[in-house]
Amino acid sequence: GAGVSQTPSNKVTEKGKYVELRCDPISGHTALYWYRQSLGQGPEFLIYFQGTGAADDSGLPNDRFFAVRPEGSVSTLKIQRTERGDSAVYLCASSSYSGTRGEQFFGPGTRLTVL
Amino acid sequence: DQQVKQNSPSLSVQEGRISILNCDYTNSMFDYFLWYKKYPAEGPTFLISISSIKDKNEDGRFTVFLNKSAKHLSLHIVPSQPGDSAVYFCAATGSGNTGKLIFGQGTTLQVKP
Protein backbone atom coordinates (compact mmCIF):
# COMPACT_ATOMS: atom_id res chain seq x y z
CA GLY A 1 0.00 0.00 0.00
CA ALA A 2 0.93 3.66 -0.21
CA GLY A 3 3.14 5.19 2.41
CA VAL A 4 2.86 8.58 4.06
CA SER A 5 2.75 11.36 1.49
CA GLN A 6 3.41 15.05 1.97
CA THR A 7 2.71 17.99 -0.29
CA PRO A 8 4.28 20.13 -1.50
CA SER A 9 7.74 18.59 -1.50
CA ASN A 10 9.24 22.07 -1.58
CA LYS A 11 7.80 25.42 -0.60
CA VAL A 12 9.52 28.77 -0.97
CA THR A 13 7.80 31.74 0.57
CA GLU A 14 8.53 35.26 1.68
CA LYS A 15 8.84 36.40 5.27
CA GLY A 16 5.44 37.29 6.69
CA LYS A 17 3.42 35.02 4.39
CA TYR A 18 1.08 32.19 5.39
CA VAL A 19 1.78 28.58 4.39
CA GLU A 20 -0.03 25.26 4.63
CA LEU A 21 1.69 21.90 4.56
CA ARG A 22 -0.31 18.74 3.96
CA CYS A 23 0.15 15.20 5.20
CA ASP A 24 -1.66 12.07 3.98
CA PRO A 25 -1.02 9.28 6.48
CA ILE A 26 -1.14 5.56 5.81
CA SER A 27 -4.77 4.51 5.54
CA GLY A 28 -6.15 3.33 8.87
CA HIS A 29 -3.41 4.85 10.99
CA THR A 30 -5.00 6.68 13.89
CA ALA A 31 -1.88 8.35 15.25
CA LEU A 32 -0.27 11.21 13.32
CA TYR A 33 2.81 13.22 14.25
CA TRP A 34 4.46 16.36 12.90
CA TYR A 35 8.18 16.93 13.34
CA ARG A 36 10.55 19.65 12.16
CA GLN A 37 14.13 18.98 11.14
CA SER A 38 16.63 21.79 10.92
CA LEU A 39 19.95 21.41 9.14
CA GLY A 40 22.34 19.13 11.01
CA GLN A 41 19.77 18.23 13.65
CA GLY A 42 17.45 15.36 14.32
CA PRO A 43 13.68 15.68 13.89
CA GLU A 44 12.03 17.75 16.62
CA PHE A 45 8.49 16.91 17.77
CA LEU A 46 5.78 19.47 17.07
CA ILE A 47 2.32 17.92 17.58
CA TYR A 48 0.57 14.56 17.93
CA PHE A 49 -2.96 13.68 16.82
CA GLN A 50 -4.92 10.67 17.99
CA GLY A 51 -7.87 10.57 15.61
CA THR A 52 -9.18 14.09 15.09
CA GLY A 53 -7.90 15.60 18.30
CA ALA A 54 -4.52 17.06 19.12
CA ALA A 55 -3.44 14.91 22.07
CA ASP A 56 -0.12 16.68 22.53
CA ASP A 57 0.82 20.04 21.01
CA SER A 58 3.63 20.79 23.44
CA GLY A 59 6.20 21.00 20.64
CA LEU A 60 4.60 23.84 18.71
CA PRO A 61 7.10 26.71 19.05
CA ASN A 62 4.56 29.54 19.26
CA ASP A 63 1.03 30.53 18.33
CA ARG A 64 1.99 31.12 14.70
CA PHE A 65 1.91 27.35 14.28
CA PHE A 66 -1.35 25.44 14.14
CA ALA A 67 -2.37 22.01 12.86
CA VAL A 68 -5.67 20.32 12.13
CA ARG A 69 -6.91 16.85 11.30
CA PRO A 70 -10.68 17.36 10.87
CA GLU A 71 -11.65 13.89 9.67
CA GLY A 72 -9.00 11.86 11.41
CA SER A 73 -7.01 11.24 8.25
CA VAL A 74 -5.32 14.08 6.32
CA SER A 75 -3.59 16.71 8.43
CA THR A 76 -2.56 20.27 7.61
CA LEU A 77 0.16 22.20 9.39
CA LYS A 78 -0.42 25.93 9.14
CA ILE A 79 2.20 28.60 9.74
CA GLN A 80 1.22 32.25 9.94
CA ARG A 81 3.51 35.24 9.47
CA THR A 82 6.44 33.03 8.50
CA GLU A 83 9.92 33.94 9.69
CA ARG A 84 13.32 32.99 8.28
CA GLY A 85 13.88 30.78 11.32
CA ASP A 86 10.91 28.62 10.24
CA SER A 87 12.99 27.31 7.33
CA ALA A 88 13.36 23.55 7.83
CA VAL A 89 12.13 20.20 6.61
CA TYR A 90 8.70 19.43 8.05
CA LEU A 91 8.14 15.70 8.50
CA CYS A 92 4.88 13.89 9.08
CA ALA A 93 4.64 10.38 10.52
CA SER A 94 1.78 8.01 11.18
CA SER A 95 1.33 4.91 13.29
CA SER A 96 -1.32 2.29 13.86
CA TYR A 97 -0.76 2.46 17.60
CA SER A 98 -1.96 5.00 20.09
CA GLY A 99 0.40 6.32 22.76
CA THR A 100 2.63 4.25 20.67
CA ARG A 101 5.25 1.67 21.26
CA GLY A 102 5.11 0.93 17.61
CA GLU A 103 6.92 2.05 14.56
CA GLN A 104 6.22 5.48 13.14
CA PHE A 105 6.23 5.66 9.36
CA PHE A 106 7.60 8.92 8.01
CA GLY A 107 6.79 10.80 4.84
CA PRO A 108 9.52 12.36 2.67
CA GLY A 109 8.95 15.78 4.21
CA THR A 110 8.25 19.28 2.94
CA ARG A 111 11.27 21.53 2.65
CA LEU A 112 10.16 25.03 3.63
CA THR A 113 12.35 27.99 2.74
CA VAL A 114 11.43 31.42 4.04
CA LEU A 115 13.22 34.22 2.20
CA ASP B 1 18.63 20.65 26.70
CA GLN B 2 19.48 17.74 24.47
CA GLN B 3 17.90 14.67 26.05
CA VAL B 4 19.23 12.31 23.38
CA LYS B 5 22.76 12.79 22.15
CA GLN B 6 24.75 11.27 19.35
CA ASN B 7 28.21 12.66 19.88
CA SER B 8 29.78 11.36 16.69
CA PRO B 9 28.59 13.34 13.67
CA SER B 10 30.16 10.87 11.25
CA LEU B 11 31.65 7.41 10.99
CA SER B 12 33.52 5.72 8.16
CA VAL B 13 34.06 1.96 7.97
CA GLN B 14 35.22 -0.55 5.41
CA GLU B 15 32.72 -2.88 3.77
CA GLY B 16 32.44 -6.15 5.67
CA ARG B 17 33.59 -4.66 8.97
CA ILE B 18 31.48 -3.77 11.99
CA SER B 19 29.84 -0.36 12.34
CA ILE B 20 29.09 0.81 15.88
CA LEU B 21 26.91 3.86 16.36
CA ASN B 22 26.47 5.28 19.84
CA CYS B 23 23.74 7.19 21.62
CA ASP B 24 23.40 8.62 25.12
CA TYR B 25 20.29 9.85 26.89
CA THR B 26 19.62 11.80 30.05
CA ASN B 27 15.93 11.27 30.83
CA SER B 28 15.32 8.31 33.15
CA MET B 29 11.67 8.23 32.08
CA PHE B 30 12.58 6.96 28.61
CA ASP B 31 11.67 3.30 28.34
CA TYR B 32 11.66 2.57 24.62
CA PHE B 33 14.40 3.29 22.13
CA LEU B 34 14.49 3.19 18.35
CA TRP B 35 16.99 3.57 15.54
CA TYR B 36 16.00 5.16 12.24
CA LYS B 37 17.95 5.33 9.00
CA LYS B 38 17.62 8.26 6.62
CA TYR B 39 18.68 8.61 3.00
CA PRO B 40 18.85 12.06 1.35
CA ALA B 41 15.47 13.48 0.30
CA GLU B 42 13.62 10.67 2.06
CA GLY B 43 11.93 10.42 5.43
CA PRO B 44 13.50 8.41 8.25
CA THR B 45 12.90 4.65 8.04
CA PHE B 46 12.52 2.50 11.13
CA LEU B 47 15.36 0.06 11.66
CA ILE B 48 15.19 -1.59 15.07
CA SER B 49 13.93 -0.90 18.58
CA ILE B 50 14.47 -2.03 22.14
CA SER B 51 12.42 -1.86 25.30
CA SER B 52 14.07 -0.89 28.56
CA ILE B 53 13.30 -4.33 30.00
CA LYS B 54 15.82 -5.81 27.58
CA ASP B 55 19.51 -5.22 27.08
CA LYS B 56 19.80 -6.56 23.55
CA ASN B 57 17.69 -6.91 20.46
CA GLU B 58 18.87 -8.47 17.22
CA ASP B 59 17.43 -8.35 13.72
CA GLY B 60 19.60 -9.81 10.99
CA ARG B 61 22.74 -7.73 10.62
CA PHE B 62 21.50 -5.16 13.14
CA THR B 63 21.81 -5.43 16.91
CA VAL B 64 20.93 -2.80 19.47
CA PHE B 65 22.44 -2.89 22.95
CA LEU B 66 21.02 -0.98 25.90
CA ASN B 67 22.94 -0.13 29.08
CA LYS B 68 20.39 1.48 31.37
CA SER B 69 22.78 2.23 34.21
CA ALA B 70 24.98 4.19 31.82
CA LYS B 71 22.00 5.59 29.89
CA HIS B 72 23.70 4.45 26.72
CA LEU B 73 22.69 2.47 23.68
CA SER B 74 24.52 1.38 20.60
CA LEU B 75 23.68 0.01 17.18
CA HIS B 76 25.95 -2.63 15.69
CA ILE B 77 25.85 -3.42 11.99
CA VAL B 78 27.70 -6.58 10.97
CA PRO B 79 28.81 -6.94 8.26
CA SER B 80 28.54 -3.38 6.99
CA GLN B 81 27.51 -2.91 3.37
CA PRO B 82 27.82 0.14 1.08
CA GLY B 83 24.01 0.37 1.01
CA ASP B 84 24.10 1.03 4.74
CA SER B 85 25.59 4.45 4.04
CA ALA B 86 23.04 6.88 5.45
CA VAL B 87 22.29 9.10 8.45
CA TYR B 88 21.32 7.12 11.55
CA PHE B 89 19.13 8.63 14.22
CA CYS B 90 18.67 7.35 17.72
CA ALA B 91 15.26 8.14 19.25
CA ALA B 92 13.62 7.63 22.62
CA THR B 93 10.15 7.74 24.09
CA GLY B 94 8.53 7.13 27.46
CA SER B 95 5.19 6.04 28.84
CA GLY B 96 4.15 9.61 29.53
CA ASN B 97 5.23 10.92 26.15
CA THR B 98 2.18 10.04 24.03
CA GLY B 99 4.55 8.22 21.73
CA LYS B 100 6.38 11.33 20.56
CA LEU B 101 9.95 10.55 19.67
CA ILE B 102 12.92 12.51 20.99
CA PHE B 103 15.71 12.27 18.43
CA GLY B 104 19.46 12.62 18.60
CA GLN B 105 21.35 14.77 16.11
CA GLY B 106 22.23 11.86 13.87
CA THR B 107 25.42 10.11 12.77
CA THR B 108 26.37 9.93 9.11
CA LEU B 109 27.71 6.47 8.30
CA GLN B 110 29.83 5.91 5.23
CA VAL B 111 30.64 2.33 4.27
CA LYS B 112 33.49 2.18 1.78
CA PRO B 113 33.63 -0.63 -0.78
Question: B3, B105 in Cβ contact below 8 A?
Answer: no
Give chain B's residues under pLDDT 50: none
Q: Which residues of B touch A41 (CB under 8 A)?
A: 105-106
Q: Which residues of A touch B32 (CB under 8 A)?
A: 101
Question: Does the pLDDT of residue A15 top 60, yes or no?
Answer: yes
pLDDT score, position A101: 66
Closest CA to A15 of A62, A83, A77: A83
Three state DSSP letters for B38-91: ECCCCCCEEEEEEECCCCEEEECCEEEEEECCCCEEEEEECCCCHHHCEEEEEE
Give the mean model confidence (pLDDT) for residues A66-88. 96
pLDDT score, position B97: 60
A97 vs B: CB within 8 A: yes
pLDDT tens for A99-111 read: 556 689 999 999 9
